[in-house]
Amino acid sequence: MPVLFDLPLSELRSYRPEPSGPADLDAFWRATLAESRAAAGAARFEPYDSGLRTVDVYDVTFGGYAGQPVRAWLLLPRHIEGRLPCVVQFVGYNGGRGFPHEYLTWSAAGYAHLVMDNRGQGSDGHTHAVTADPDPSGAPQTPGYLTRGIGSPQTYYYRRLFTDAVRAVDTARTHPRIDPDRIAVLGASQGGGTAIAAAALGDRVAAAVVDVPFLCHVRRAVRITDDHPYRELATWCRTHRHAVERAFATLDYFDGMNLAARATAPALFSVALMDTTCPPSTVFAAYNRWAGAAKDITVWPFDGHEGGAAHQTAEQFRFLAATLA
């Protein structure tokens, strides 16, 4: 129902719900990242024959959460010399790194482009994944990934995915063709939520490009929309009634609203007022808490979860050109 169903724009602009981050949120992530970095060896960048002629493609394997192998593509514009600014992209729910020729935007725009695979996802008919998610718990879960291991922050799926994301930024920084001070994170939907996490938890992220992000203000989202994937969480709560508070306590460690308050990089967000997948109030809840002062948000009044789509890409060209210049 792509109509205005959430708060009016005037209220969204100033919507600032109380953060729900637990006291040990920083400690949790500090420990997680330290352990994972310690477990990871050097990334491998293997040349890959993609059939393309203006882009050099590398099949990347780096150590993600707990040092587990995570795959990515690195695309370098073949004919541009010198150190490049880099876009590290995180893919949406159910997607994966697919083929290199599905991710041609940023190398064509002159950036090194690292596309991180989504562990265990990428099996829903579009971009496929090849990275495994060795699940440490295997606890009962609603089909999908949103409730995988939700019983505790230690076992939660997004602990692993967000750590992978931070490690993807680390990995980009190690490549000789990439300028370590000009790395941006970027993503839409789950990729947007992951970009928030990477900006908040990663090192020296120079810019964040966040479209219609998922996993923000989850306590509200699950009550105002029935669309996938938030629906998976409602289904889980409906089944495991006595564990509901535990699930939300887990989610607090990962909620974009809580993480955004720790992110300081210049940021360009986008939000769509008819988005029932990631309702606008949940996006603004994160955006309004974003700690960096250099931030902007594009509002698409007639869109659903597709958001600004290619129109927003044009905005991003301008934003990144200015920010990473």
Active-site positions? 189, 275, 305
Q: Do 131 and 163 meet the contact criterion of CB atoms below 8 Å apart? A: no
Among 3, 42, 293, 325, binds a copy of itself (CB under 8 A): 3
Contacts of a copy of itself in 59-78 (CB under 8 A): 77-78
Does residue 130 bind a copy of itself (CB under 8 A)?
A: yes
Closest approach of a copy of itself to the CB of residue 79, in Å: 4
Separation between Cα atoms, residue 176 and residue 202, nearest integer Å:
19
Contacts of a copy of itself in 153-192 (CB under 8 A): none
Separation between Cα atoms, residue 49 and residue 165, nearest integer Å:
25
Contacts of a copy of itself in 81-100 (CB under 8 A): 94, 96, 98-99
Query: Considering CB under 8 A, how many residues would be counted as binding a copy of itself?
Result: 83
Which is closer to a copy of itself, CB of 44 or CB of 311?
311
Give the residue among 12, 6, 185 at the shortest CA–CA distance from 88: 185
Contacts of a copy of itself in 193-222 (CB under 8 A): 222
Q: Treating both helix axes as pointing N-terminal to C-terminal, what angle do 25-39 and 157-174 enclose, rounded to 10 degrees?
A: 60
Does residue 13 bind a copy of itself (CB under 8 A)?
A: no
Does residue 311 bind a copy of itself (CB under 8 A)?
A: yes
Q: Look-up: residue for tokens 């587990």?
A: 68
Among 133, 164, 170, 211, binds a copy of itself (CB under 8 A): 133
Contacts of 271 (CB under 8 A, 6+ apart): 12, 212, 280, 283, 284, 287, 297, 298, 299, 300, 307
Q: Look-up: residue for tokens 């596309």?
A: 115
Contacts of a copy of itself in 253-282 (CB under 8 A): 274
Separation between Cα atoms, residue 110 and residue 79, nearest integer Å:
10
Among 47, 82, 138, 176, binds a copy of itself (CB under 8 A): 138
86, two tokens: 């880099």
The stretch among 50-58, 162-170, 187-195, 201-209 that binds a copy of itself (CB under 8 A) is 50-58
Among 135, 173, 179, 297, binds a copy of itself (CB under 8 A): 135
Closest approach of a copy of itself to the CB of residue 38, in Å: 21
Partners of residue 86 on adjacent β-strands:
112, 183
Cα angle, residue 24 at apex, residues 23 and 28 outer, rounded to 5°? 155
Among 30, 34, 54, 246, binds a copy of itself (CB under 8 A): 54
The stretch among 31-39, 102-110, 169-177, 201-209 that binds a copy of itself (CB under 8 A) is 102-110
313, two tokens: 């890409």
Neighbouring CB atoms inside 10 A of 51's CB total 10
Three-state SS annotation for 104-124: CHHHHCCCEEEEECCCCCCCC
Among 69, 110, 180, 292, binds a copy of itself (CB under 8 A): 110
| 3-class DSSP state of 234 | helix
Among 237, 268, 271, 299, binds a copy of itself (CB under 8 A): 237
The stretch among 16-24, 114-122, 259-267, 287-295 that binds a copy of itself (CB under 8 A) is 114-122
Q: Cα 82 vs. chain centroid, distance in angstroms?
A: 28
Among 24, 46, 226, 296, binds a copy of itself (CB under 8 A): 226
Contacts of 79 (CB under 8 A, 6+ apart): 54
Closest approach of a copy of itself to the CB of residue 191, in Å: 16
Contacts of a copy of itself in 291-310 (CB under 8 A): 300-303, 306, 308-310
